Amino acid sequence: MVRQMINMVYKEVRGLHQAAYILALFALASQLLALLRDRLLAHQFGAGAELDIYYAAFRIPDLLFVLIISVSSVYVLIPFVSGAVSNGNGSDARRLLSQVFSLLFLVYTVVAVTVFIFVPSLLSVLFPNVHDQETLVVLTRILLLQPFLLGISGLYGVITQLSHRFVIYALSPLLYNAGIIIGILFFYPVLGLAGLGWGVVLGAILHFLVQWPLVRQSDLRIGFDWHFDWAKLRSVFAVSIPRSLALSMQQLVLLALVALAGTMATGSIAIFQFAYNLQSVPLAIIGVSYSVAAFPLLAELYSKANHEKFAIHVLTPLRHIIFWSMPTIALIVVLRAQLVRVVLGSGEFDWTDTRLTAAVLALLSLSLVAQAMYLVVVRAFYAGGRTRIPFYGTVIGSVLAIAFAYGFLLLYGAHEEARTAIASFMRLDGVFGSEVLAIAFGYSLATILQTIVLTWLMGKVFSISLSALIRPLVVAFYAAVVGGLAAYITLNFIVVGIDQERFLGVFIQGVLAGIAGLVGTVITYAYFESRELHEIYTSLHRKFVKTEIVAPQEEVF
């Protein structure tokens, strides 16, 4: 039985649909484990000082990951390695992987050791209000191991994907979350907060270790190679560095927002991070799926100078993102308390934490359409070889996000009447710590403005008429309003008698209201004869759908 399971995990998958189903299944499982991870953290600690330390400790290691390690991502290296293999130069492909590994090992070791030494000073500046600085320093130092381990896994991922071992690659993020859960359940009771850090390190080890048996037997197995081919490495870094810099801007924004949250009431960092994680789930399902699927075809069409089809295949995912995202925003806003309570409401995570997290989630979700569209728009620029425009757009958007968050925080603290009105509107009367709403609203507003500008520039640069998006936007708005009202009415007048003090009661209440909202949304789309609804219905009835298999990537664009 064990051997059969091992053979299944390492089995080569060639069929398009078989690979797609495997990747989708493990992606869903990974998302469910991530939600379980957050629920266990919320149950154990609530939105308190411990989780503030835990989430703050990730910020510097995550920034190092995108600045240094992400230059070796699967997204960048596969074209170079597969090209060498296709030309019969397997030894060149192996040398490239080994040289990238060696160079990153050298650079990251130097940087990580430097950060390890000076991290107490860095953290005291970034998070001066975190009282237990000693624990924060220890946890951050432990987490410095994570980027390098995930970097090794990324290099291994090139080999596993080229070998069509999609089960192994899809299993890695699931095991990563499993390691964190082990840290929560078993390491924390023995080692305290440091145990959570070692759980993350365990997850990162499992992330690459599951791929190691295949890599060890592969002709592309990685080792140290210090005889650098700088010409080849420059061609790799020319592609990867702009992407890494843009990714780093997102991490800088998160670092700044978490630092701002650290100046607020205890637990504000945890509240913001929980809400951010929750809104990332629909973003991954809607935005990432459409943008990743669209990119290979967009690059091919542009390379063939087929500008008409290029425009069509840019607008199609944008239309469908609007179709899905707009009603999703309405349902999240209406059902925010039920969503947070079902996912996180346990143990030390009390009703006050739920109300605050739900309010932040609602504000972050307002930019869901913009966040998802941004992923497609940026890929359109990259497919067309225009990498500078999205990079500068990301830089400006990041500056705006930080400036808006800080500005709204100052305004929120300076105007008591406005603060009282906003708290009342968000159902936070009497709840301490509502200033965290300011950074969520600032982030959403900046993201919306950034996407509007980049989308307009995309239309100008590639001569794409954006008028095709007007009707989908209007129809999706109506569908969102009707769906949101249906969910609200069901929530407040039909299932109001269900016991909200128990998990099952809250779950039933949310499910029934959610179903009513979905029915209202679909009916509205059908009434307006939505083109997107017809396309989805048609695609579901096709016997064969030819799609490219692209493994899921954890990235900003």
pLDDT tens track for 136-167: 999 999 999 999 999 888 888 778 766 766 67
pLDDT tens track for 77-99: 766 776 676 666 668 888 888 88
Tell me whether residue 500 is exposed, middle or buried, using C-beta atoms within 10 angstroms of its C-beta: 0 to 12, 13 to 18, 19 or more: middle
Q: Determine the average pLDDT of the residues in 529-550.
A: 66
Cα distance between residue 397 and residue 377, in whole Å? 14
3-state secondary structure of 345: coil
Above 50 in pLDDT, residue 557? no
Residue 553 in contact with residue 75, Cβ under 8 Å? yes
Cα distance between residue 442 and residue 404, in whole Å? 5
More confident residue, 528 or 298: 528
Cα distance between residue 178 and residue 221, in whole Å? 26
Centre a 10 Å sphere on the Cβ of residue 469 and count the other Cβ atoms it contains: 19
Centre a 10 Å sphere on the Cβ of residue 413 and count the other Cβ atoms it contains: 12
CA dihedral of 401, 437, 477, 381, whole degrees rounded to 10:
20
pLDDT tens track for 402-413: 999 999 999 988
Please name the amino acid found at residue 280. Answer: S
Cα distance between residue 199 and residue 283, in whole Å? 26
